[in-house]
Amino acid sequence: MLGFQDEVWFSRLAQPNVHAWTSDQPLRLVEKQADKADGDPKALACYGLLRADTGQMWLRFVDGRPVSRVTVRFLAWLLDRLACEGKEALLMIWDNASWHISKEVRQWVRAHNRRVKAEGGCRLLVCRLPSKSPWLNNIEPKWVHGKRAVVEPERLLLADELKGRLCDYYQCEILEPIPQ
C-alpha cells in the first residue's frame, strides 16, 4: 500500500489563511488570546497518514510534540493496523524531519522489518522526500483544507472540540493520544 505521512500542528489561537466573499463588511479572522485559566494546549500536534488506496486519513494526536519515540509508537500502531487488514507492505512517503531520520527511528524500522520477515506482518518501506519540497507530499493540502474547515471565527475552541471537528472532517475515529 502507498501512504503519505506527515505531522501537523492545529492551533487553537492562530487562524488559517482563508478566502471569503462578503457583501458589506470584510471577514476578519483575528488571532485569539488564551485565558490564563485555560488548561488546554495552545496547539495540538497530530500524526497523519493519507492512504493512496482509499483516500482515507488516519490521525493520531500527540500529548506533546513529535519526537523520535512518539514517531516509533505511531509507526508501530500504523503497521499493526495495516497488518490486521492483511497488508504486507507500506510504501510510506514522508519528509526529512529530524524525528524521521533519527537513529532511533531508523533502527526501529530495520528491527521491525527483520521481525516481520521472520514472523509476518506489514513491512515498512520509507521514501524520503527532498528537503523543502512539501508539494510532493499529497497529505499537505489535506492539512490546509482541514484547518480551514474547522476554523471558528467567533470563539476559541476547546482542545477536545478541535479534535472532534478534525476527526469529523477527516472521517476518522478519535483515538487516545500518543503519550510522550
Give me the torsion for CA of 110, 101, 62, 12, rounded to 10°. Answer: -160
Residue 180 grid cell:
510522550
Task: Quick: pLDDT tens for 95-128.
Answer: 988 888 899 999 999 999 999 999 999 999 999 9
Exposed (0-12), middle (13-18) or buried (19+): which is 77, by Cβ within 10 Å? middle
Per-residue model confidence (pLDDT) at position 42: 82
| Nearest CA among 90, 121, 71 for reference residue 4 | 90
- Provide the β-strand partners of residue 47: 7, 60
Looking only at the bridges linking them, the beta strands covering 2-11 and 43-51 are: antiparallel
Task: Quick: pLDDT tens for 122-147.
Answer: 999 999 998 888 889 999 999 989 98
Strand order in the sheet with 43-51: 57-62, 43-51, 2-11, 89-94, 123-128
Q: What is the pLDDT confidence band of residue 48, given thresholds at 50, 70 and 90?
A: very high
Ordered structural domains, the chain, with CATH = 2-170 (3.30.420.10)
Q: What is the DSSP string of 145-165?
A: HHHHHT--SSSPPPHHHHHHH
| Nearest CA among 118, 123, 112, 127 for reference residue 73 | 112
